[in-house]
Amino acid sequence: MTRRTFVRGIAVLAGAAATGGLAACTNSGSGQTSVGPRSAAVAEAERARRVAGRSTVTARLTPRPVTFDLGGRTVETWAYGDQVPGPLLRATAGDLLKVTVDNQLPTDTSVHWHGLALRNDMDGVPHITQDPIAAAGSFTYEFVAPDPGTYFYHPHTGVQLDRGLYGVLVIDDPAEPGAYDDEWVVVLDDWVDGTGRTPDDVLAELTSNGGGMDHGSMGGGMGGSMSSPLLGGAGDVDYPHYLVNGRTPDAPHQFTARPGQRVRVRFVNAGTDTAFRVAVGGHRMTVTHSDGFPVTPVTTDALLIGMGERVDVTLTLDDGVFPLVASAEGKRGQGRALIRTGGGVSPADATISELSRQVLLGTDLIAAEAVLLPDGDVDRRHDVALGGSMSRYRWTINGRAFPDSRPLPVRSGERVRLRFINQTMMFHPMHLHGHTFGLVDGGARKDTVIVRPMESLEVDLDADNPGQWALHCHNILHAEAGMMTTLSYRT
C-alpha cells in the first residue's frame, strides 16, 4: 500500500458513515448512530470535567523543519521549535489547556495528547476527530486534563512522530505529597531522520520490500534477526541511533544531584519501532506509576518499556557517576544519559549488570487500590485479533487493515472487555485513545500495553468518554500499515 492509496483510503473513510466521520452524528445504516466528535454528548462530558477555580495553561507549538545536533551529529529534521524533545508542557489536574499549533511544516499535521482522557474533538486524529492542520495553518486545542500523570504529545499524521516531533506533558496531582527531592524526565527514541533516510523512506522501503518476507511469522523486516527472549520479534528497523533526551551516547544528557537525594524519574518511550530496556548502573528503581496511573510500588533492576508506554520510578542516589542506559531490546545499540552526584569519571563501557537482572514489564504491575476499576459485570466484549500478512508489509486488526477496518461499537455506561489476541510473531504495544483500561485481575491501569507474540491479553474499561477513539499498535509503522481501528460510541 503506497502512501497515496492510504491517503485516498482515509478520504473515503472520512466521507463514509461507518466511523461517524466528523459530523455530530451519523447513522451507520444498522440502526445505530455514531457519537461523533462534535456531538452534544462530547460537549456534555467536557462540561462534567470542568472544576470551578482551576487555571488555564496556554502554550504554543511550532512544528517546523530544523537543523538539530544529536550530539556529534547534525541532522535535518522536523521538531516543535529548536529542541528535541519539544517543550515540556505542565499543568495541574483539572486545568484547562489551550495549546495553539502553528504549522510551519511543508505538509499537514495534527497533535495527539497521548494517554489523556480528553474531549474527543481535541484528540488530534485527522479525519476521525478533526480536519488535518494544513501547511501554514493553525489550530488551537482546548481541553481539560482530568487525570494526573506522565503523558506525551505527537502528531497523528503519517510517521511524523518518527521525526523530532514529540514532547512530554506532565499533569501534576494537587493531592500528591511528592516525596522526592528532584524530578527528571527521560525520553527514549529510535532515530533515523536526516541520516540519509527519512521515516517516510523507511516505511516506503518496508512496504515495497515486504513481498516475499514473512513478517507475520518471522517477526522482522529489514534484518529479520531482531528478536528478544522477552518480546519475540522485537522490531522491523535497525536504527542508526538511539537517543535519550535527544542525545546520542557520545554526548549524553547529564543529570546532576547530591548523594542520598531521592529522584522521581518519568520515562517516556517516544520510539517508533523499539522497546527499551532501561536501568541505572549501581541502583535499583521503585516503580510508582504506569501510563500516569499509580501502581503498587515494586522495586526492580530494569524495566522494559514499549513504544507509547510511560513509567515513573523513584530512586535514591548513590555517590559517584552512573550511566542510565536504555538498551534497544532485541537490537544492537543503546541510548544513554549520565547521573552525576559526585566526583569520578564516567564509565566508558556502559554494559551494566542491572540490564540483565530482574526486568519488569507493564503487564507485571499491579494497580494501586485507589485506581482499581470498580467491580462490575462486563456488558460487552470485543476480540481484537492482531495479524500480519504473509506476503506484504500489512498489519491488521480482526483481519482488516485501516482504513478498511471495522469499528468496535460500544455504548456509554458499558463495562467493555477487550481481548487482544496476537497472532503474529512480533510484539505489539496496543494503545487506546481517550481511556485508561485496567488489565484484568487487578493489573495496572494503562493506555498502552505490550501484547507478546501468540499471547492473549484481556483489559476492561468503562465507556465513559463518548466519541470515536483510535485503537492501534504504537509501532507507528504497523499503525500506518493498517494495525488500527476505532472504539466507536453509538447511541
Tell me which stretch binds ligand C2O (CB under 6 A): 9-17, 68-76, 450-458, 466-474.
Answer: 466-474
On whether the CB atoms of residues 182 and 261 are closer than 8 A, the answer is yes
CB closer to Cu ion, 114 vs 428: 428
> Strand order in 468-473's β-sheet?
408-410, 484-489, 468-473, 428-432, 448-451
Closest CA to 314 of 263, 365, 366: 263
Binding status of residue 470 toward ligand C2O by CB under 6 A? yes
Binding status of residue 449 toward Cu ion by CB under 5 A? no
Q: What residues have CB less than 8 Å from 370, skipping those under 6 apart?
A: 294
Q: Which does 473 bind (CB under 5 to 8 A by kind): ligand C2O, Cu ion, none?
A: Cu ion
Q: Which does 127 bind (CB under 5 to 8 A by kind): ligand C2O, Cu ion, none?
A: none
For residues 402 and 207, give the distance between their C-alpha atoms in angstroms, rounded to a whole number: 15
CB closer to ligand C2O, 89 vs 470: 470
Q: Which does 49 bind (CB under 5 to 8 A by kind): ligand C2O, Cu ion, none?
A: none
CB closer to ligand C2O, 245 vs 485: 485
On whether the CB atoms of residues 93 and 147 are closer than 8 A, the answer is yes
Q: Which does 264 bind (CB under 5 to 8 A by kind): Cu ion, ligand C2O, none?
A: none
Q: How many CA atoms lie within 13 A of 243 on its CB side?
A: 25
Burial class of residue 407, CB neighbours in 10 A (0-12, 13-18, 19+): buried
Q: What angle do CA 366, 437, 47 make, to 5 degrees?
A: 125
Query: Which of 431, 445, 446, 452 forms a contact with ligand C2O (CB under 6 A)?
Result: 431
Q: Which does 38 bind (CB under 5 to 8 A by kind): Cu ion, ligand C2O, none?
A: none
Site for ligand C2O in 135-174 (CB under 6 A): 154, 156
Closest CA to 480 of 236, 309, 167, 241: 236
CB closer to Cu ion, 38 vs 428: 428
Count of residues interacting with ligand C2O (CB under 6 A): 10
Tell me which stretch binds ligand C2O (CB under 6 A): 23-31, 246-254, 459-467, 470-478.
Answer: 470-478
Kind of pairing, strands 182-191 and 262-269? parallel
Tell me which stretch binds ligand C2O (CB under 6 A): 138-146, 235-243, 367-375, 468-476.
Answer: 468-476
CB closer to ligand C2O, 274 vs 300: 274
Q: Write each residue from 109 to 128 as x if it is in contact with ligand C2O (CB under 6 A), else as -, in one continuous string.
A: ---x-x--------------
The helix-helix angle for 3-15 and 199-209 (nearest 10°) equals 100
Query: Which of 112, 478, 481, 487 forms a contact with Cu ion (CB under 5 A)?
Result: 478
Cell 519539544, residue located: 86
For residues 367 and 289, give the distance between their C-alpha atoms in angstroms, rounded to a whole number: 9
Closest CA to 157 of 188, 213, 112, 115: 112
Q: Which does 428 bind (CB under 5 to 8 A by kind): Cu ion, ligand C2O, none?
A: Cu ion
What the block records as the C-alpha cell of 242 is 538511539
What the block records as the C-alpha cell of 398 is 480482526
Cell 482546548, residue located: 142
Q: Which does 478 bind (CB under 5 to 8 A by kind): Cu ion, ligand C2O, none?
A: Cu ion
CB closer to Cu ion, 324 vs 450: 450
CB closer to Cu ion, 95 vs 236: 236
Query: Which of 85, 308, 323, 388 forms a contact with ligand C2O (CB under 6 A)?
Result: 308
Q: Which does 114 bind (CB under 5 to 8 A by kind): Cu ion, ligand C2O, none?
A: ligand C2O
For residues 134 and 306, give the distance between their C-alpha atoms in angstroms, rounded to a whole number: 31
Closest CA to 225 of 384, 451, 59, 425: 425
Tell me which stretch binds ligand C2O (CB under 6 A): 9-17, 238-246, 314-322, 469-477.
Answer: 469-477
CB closer to Cu ion, 6 vs 143: 6
CB closer to ligand C2O, 25 vs 159: 159
What the block records as the C-alpha cell of 12 is 473515503
* Whole-number Cα distances in Å, 432 to 49, 135, 157, 396, 428: 20, 28, 16, 16, 13
Residue closest to ligand C2O when measured from CB atoms: 114
* Contacts to ligand C2O by CB under 6 A: 112, 114, 154, 156, 308, 431, 433, 470, 472, 474
